[in-house]
Amino acid sequence: MPMTAATPEITRFGGLHRAPGRRRRNLASLAFLAPAAIWLLVVVVYPCFATIRYSFYDESASRFVGLANYKAVFSTDAILVAFRNNIIWVLVFPFLVTVIGLMLAVLSERIRWGTAFKTIIVMPVVFSATASALVWRTIFDLNPHVGVVNALEQTASDFVRPPGPYPVDANLGQSLAGLASTGVRPDGHGSLVSISTVNAGHTVELGLIGVSPQTLALLGARTARAPTAAPGVIDGLVWRDFSPSHPGARGRVYPDEDGLADLQVSLLRTGGSAVATTTTRPDGQFKFANIGPGSFRVQIDAQNFTSSFGGTFWLGSSSVTPTSGLSQTAQALLSVPLIDIAMIVAYLWMWAGFAMVIIAAGLSSLNREVLEAARIDGASEWQVLKRVTTPMLAPVLAVVFVTMVINVLKVFDIILNMAPGSSQAAASTLAFSMYTHGFEGGIHSGLASAIAVILFASVVPAMAWNLKRIRGQM
C-alpha cells in the first residue's frame, strides 16, 4: 500500500493547518457516506433483522409462534424437496462450472482466435436468466420438432432401430395382442404368427384391427382382395379386419376393407426357421413361390411394429435415481429429477463464461517460466495442467467456486421460467419455495421468513470466507 506511506511531515503539517477546518471536513466526509449508509440500513440491514423476527410469527405476522415455522420447514415434504435440490445444485454446479471454466481458459490461450472464442462463451453471462431459461426450455422440449436434444435422440434411435410402418406404442396403451384379429396370434417375441399351418397351393388370410385409416392412407393401401389359390404357391392376404358397414363382423373380407400395405412377412417352417421373406402389396396380398412340400406358418415380422422413439421428458419430474417403494419423505430427499439435470446444463451455459474470464485473468498473471520449465523437463500438457497450473491457480479457482456456491444457493428465475408448471414443485429450491410461500396463493409470511433466514444462514460460511480473504488484502 504505497499511498498510506504519505510522508509524516505532510501529515503533521496538514494537522497544523487543518485544525480549524477539521471538524467541518469530518462532517463533510460523513455526509458523503450518509445516503448510502441510510439506504443500506433501511433496505438491507433492518430487513435482515425484521425477517428473523417474522420467522417466529404466524402467517400474518401477528402472533408469536416460537419455532413452529422452522419445524414446519423441516417437516414439509415440498420444502424438503427444495433442500434436496439446493444440495444437488451446490454439490454439482460449482465444481462443474469451475472445471469447465478452467478447461476453456487454458485451451483458449493456445488458439489464435482465443479472444473471439472467449467472447462467444461469455455472451450468455449478460443474458437474463429469464431469457436463457426460455431458450433452454425449447432445447429440451419433448417435441422433436421443437427440442434439439430430443430431435438428436430420435435421429440416433431411428438409425439404430428404425420404426416400422405399423408402430405399436405401449405408452399409448397399444399391444400386439390387441392388433391380432383373425388367424394370427402374438408369438411372444414381437411378431404375429398364423395360428394354422398352410401348404403350397393353399391360401392364408390374416386379419388385424386397430390400424388407423391415416396410417393406411399414408402407406397408399388399397381395397383388400381375397387371394386365389395356385399350385406350388402360397398366396396370402393381410387386411384391416374392420368394415365400417359391418362394424361387428370379423374374419370376412368385405369390399370396404383395406389391405395392409408394406408389411414384411416371412414363411416359417414348423420348426420356426424362416425360409422366405416378402412384402405385402398395396392391396395387402403377398405370395411365396417355389416352395417345397411340407407345412408352414406365416409370420408378420416384429420390425413392422417397432415403435418410434418416444422422446425424453427432460423438463419432467421423473427421477434418475430409483425411488419406487420409498416413503414420500424419502422420495423427496433422494430423487434426482430430470428437470434438475436440464436446468444445471442450461446454467452451465449461462455461467461458464464467467468462470472462464476470471480464471483466464488468473492464468495470465501466472509465472510463465515455471510452466515452461515443467514442459522442458518433459511433463505432458495434462501433467502441467494437473500438477503445476491448477495448484498455482488454486486461489482464483476458490474464488470462482465460492462465488458460484453463493449464486446457486439463490437459484430462482430459471426454475420459474424453465420448469413447466407440472414440474416446478420437483424443481423447487429454497429461494423458489420462499417465493411460493411468501407471495403466491396461501401467503404465509412466517414460513417464508423462516425459509429466507435459512437461506441467509446458508450463505454465512461463504460470507465469512469472503471477509477473511478481503481482510487479508487490506
Partner 1 sequence: MTGFSLDPELSRARRIRSRMHLSRSALNLGLGAVGVLWLVPTISLAVFSLRPEGLFDVSGWWHVLTAPTQLTLHNYSALFSQGFAAGGLLDSTLTSLVITLPATLLVTALASLAAYSLVFGNWRGRDVAFLVTVGLIVVPLQVALIPVLELYRSFGSLTGYNPFGTFAGVIIFHVGFGLPFGIFLMRNFYTGIPRDLVEAARIEGAREWTLFRRVVVPLGLPAAAALAVFQFIWVWNDLLVALIFLGGNPHQTLTLFLFDQTRSLAADYWIISTGAMVSIVVPLGVFFAFQRHFVRGLLAGAVK
Binders in 41-60 for partner 1, by CB under 8 A: 42-48, 50-51, 54
Q: Should residue 470 be labelled a site residue for partner 1 when binding is judged by CB under 8 A?
A: yes
CA distance 192 to 185: 5
Q: Should residue 33 be labelled a site residue for partner 1 when binding is judged by CB under 8 A?
A: yes
Helix ranges restricted to H, 109-208: 114-122, 129-139, 148-160, 176-179
- Compare residues 112 and 189 and give the one whose CB is closer to partner 1: 112
Q: Should residue 36 be labelled a site residue for partner 1 when binding is judged by CB under 8 A?
A: yes
3-state secondary structure of 86: helix
Q: Should residue 361 be labelled a site residue for partner 1 when binding is judged by CB under 8 A?
A: yes
Q: Should residue 374 be labelled a site residue for partner 1 when binding is judged by CB under 8 A?
A: no
Nearest CA among 152, 146, 144 for reference residue 134: 146
CB 384 to partner 1: min, Å: 14
Task: Identify whether the C-beta of residue 427 lies closer than 8 Å to the C-beta of residue 413.
Answer: no
Spatial strand order in the sheet of 180-182: 180-182, 203-208, 234-240, 285-288
- Compare residues 144 and 337 and give the one whose CB is closer to partner 1: 144
3-state secondary structure of 418: helix
CA distance 403 to 351: 11
> Among residues 8, 19, 145, 189, which is the contact residue for partner 1, using CB under 8 A?
145
Whole-angstrom CA distances from 420 to 165, 389, 431 are 33, 42, 17
> Among residues 12, 28, 169, 386, which is the contact residue for partner 1, using CB under 8 A?
28
CB 352 to partner 1: min, Å: 8
- Compare residues 298 and 355 and give the one whose CB is closer to partner 1: 355
310's CB contacts (< 8 A; 6+ apart) are 169, 171
CB 432 to partner 1: min, Å: 10
CB 77 to partner 1: min, Å: 21
> Among residues 60, 75, 143, 295, which is the contact residue for partner 1, using CB under 8 A?
143
- Compare residues 4 and 228 and give the one whose CB is closer to partner 1: 4
CA distance 175 to 171: 10
Burial class, 299, CB count within 10 angstroms (exposed 0-12 / middle 13-18 / buried 19+): buried
Instruction: List the interface residues with partner 1, window 245-284 (CB under 8 A).
Output: none
CA distance 318 to 310: 15
- Compare residues 265 and 358 and give the one whose CB is closer to partner 1: 358
Binding-residue pattern over the window 383 to 412 for partner 1, x denoting contact by CB under 8 A:
----------------xx-xx--xx-xx-x
- Compare residues 40 and 195 and give the one whose CB is closer to partner 1: 40
CA distance 298 to 300: 7
Nearest CA among 263, 272, 274 for reference residue 300: 263
Instruction: List the interface residues with partner 1, window 339-358 (CB under 8 A).
Output: 349, 354, 357-358
CA distance 321 to 324: 9
CA distance 226 to 204: 9
CA distance 434 to 73: 11
> Among residues 8, 10, 188, 391, which is the contact residue for partner 1, using CB under 8 A?
10
- Compare residues 194 and 449 and give the one whose CB is closer to partner 1: 449
CB 367 to partner 1: min, Å: 19
Measured at the CA of 187, the angle between CA 184 and CA 189, to 5 degrees, comes to: 140
409 alpha-carbon distance from chain centroid: 19
Q: Should residue 333 be labelled a site residue for partner 1 when binding is judged by CB under 8 A?
A: no
Number of residues that bind partner 1 (CB under 8 A): 108
Q: Should residue 156 be labelled a site residue for partner 1 when binding is judged by CB under 8 A?
A: no
- Compare residues 122 and 302 and give the one whose CB is closer to partner 1: 122
- Compare residues 107 and 233 and give the one whose CB is closer to partner 1: 107
> Among residues 30, 156, 170, 274, which is the contact residue for partner 1, using CB under 8 A?
30
- Compare residues 173 and 441 and give the one whose CB is closer to partner 1: 441
CA distance 256 to 150: 39
Instruction: List the interface residues with partner 1, window 408-467 (CB under 8 A).
Output: 409-410, 412-413, 416-417, 420, 431, 434-435, 438-439, 445, 448-449, 451-453, 455-456, 459, 462-463, 466-467
CB 423 to partner 1: min, Å: 13
The residue whose grid cell reads 394354422 is 196
Q: Should residue 376 be labelled a site residue for partner 1 when binding is judged by CB under 8 A?
A: no
Instruction: List the interface residues with partner 1, window 76-135 (CB under 8 A).
Output: 104, 107-108, 110-111, 116-117, 119-132, 134-135
The residue whose grid cell reads 449464486 is 407
- Compare residues 140 and 286 and give the one whose CB is closer to partner 1: 140
Q: Should residue 212 be labelled a site residue for partner 1 when binding is judged by CB under 8 A?
A: no
Nearest CA among 305, 291, 203 for reference residue 262: 305
CB 79 to partner 1: min, Å: 14
